[in-house]
């Protein structure tokens, strides 16, 4: 998969994407990163990418010309390549959306700056606006890194085991169960005996129960959308949940 990143700071992505799982995927060619310097599409000697907003107000707005040229240079009329703009006004990024985006061979990511981008770019070039949370960043670059990490790890071959992604928090609609490793005893606390039993069915049931318990405690609204079995509902009833949670 190729991530085309339209930004005024192409060097921003050089170091973070050299490390960890994503770094290995980039090195092996499974993932390709194509930072596009927006300033290379400007005409003036100052390489201007922003200007004052019509109607007045604080801040600057990214001008449409360079953005239009940058996106067009990558997309080349291919409507199947989604163009994404990071914006506080966008839909909230989540696991489901990450999975949908991982099905594409290429994505164009526009990293906005200042007060935003000219609306005509959004109306004519952008397929989707995405927000990574209810807060404001100084630019779209950090959000692009989050999306690349979340989407990239879902691409076949990126993780050591494809099962890792399918067992993640949110992949099943629930938060993931707790994990333990060596040593068996640490700070006077033992690994749960069931995980040492070798009984895979018991371990599976324990993990499911802990997943339900953790979700009920921390993100109960997720239970309204999760696919729950009759056994799940029985466990939840024992934990005091009867299907009456409300979205936060």
248 is catalytic: no
Report the C-alpha gap between 207 and 175 in whole angstroms.
11
142 is catalytic: no
Q: What DSSP assignment string belongs to the chain?
A: -EEEEEES-GGGGTTGGGSHHHHHHHHHTSSEEEEEEGGGG--STT---EEPPTT--SS-EE-HHHHHHHHHHHHTT-TTS-EEEEEEEEEEP-HHHHHHHTTSSEEEEE--BTT-B-HHHHHHH-SEEEESSSS--SBSHHHHHHHHHHHHTTSTTSSS-HHHHHTSTTTSSSPPPP---S-SEETTEEPPGGGGS--HHHHHHHHHHHHHHHHHHH-GGGGGTS---HHHHHHHHHTT--S-----
Token pair listed for 70: 């940058």
| Choice among 37, 50, 168, 176 that is catalytic | 168
| Choice among 50, 106, 115, 176 that is catalytic | 115
Query: Alpha carbon 42 to chain centroid distance?
Result: 30
| Choice among 16, 88, 142, 220 that is catalytic | 88
Cβ–Cβ contacts within 10 Å for residue 223, how many?
19
219 is catalytic: no
115 is catalytic: yes
Closest CA to 86 of 57, 51, 113: 113
Q: Are 210 and 156 in contact (CB under 8 A)?
A: no
Residues designated as active site: 88, 115, 153, 168
């Amino acid at each position: 998969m190729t991530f085309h990143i339209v930004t005024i700071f192409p060097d921003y992505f050089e170091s973070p994407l050299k490390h960890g799982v994503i770094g290995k995927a980039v090195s092996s060619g499974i993932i390709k990163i194509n930072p596009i310097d927006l300033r290379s599409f400007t005409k003036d000697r100052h390489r201007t990418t922003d200007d004052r907003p019509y109607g007045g107000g604080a801040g600057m707005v990214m001008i449409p010309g360079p953005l239009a040229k940058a996106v067009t240079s990558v997309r080349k009329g291919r409507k199947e390549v989604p163009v994404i703009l990071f914006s506080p006004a966008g839909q909230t990024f989540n696991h489901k959306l990450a999975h949908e985006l991982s099905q594409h061979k290429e994505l164009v990511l526009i990293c906005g700056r200042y007060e935003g981008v000219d609306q005509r770019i959004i109306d004519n070039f952008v397929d989707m606006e995405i927000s990574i949370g209810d807060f404001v960043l100084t630019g779209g670059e950090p959000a692009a890194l989050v999306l690349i990490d979340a989407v990239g790890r879902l691409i076949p071959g990126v993780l050591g085991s494809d099962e890792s992604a399918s067992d993640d928090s949110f992949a099943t609609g629930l938060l993931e169960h707790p994990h333990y490793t060596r040593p068996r005893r640490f700070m006077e606390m033992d690994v749960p005996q069931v995980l040492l039993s070798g009984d895979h069915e018991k371990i599976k049931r324990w993990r499911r129960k802990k997943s339900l318990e953790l979700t009920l405690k921390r993100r109960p609204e997720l239970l309204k959308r999760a696919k729950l079995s009759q056994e799940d509902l029985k466990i939840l009833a024992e934990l005091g949940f009867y299907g009456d949670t409300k979205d936060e």
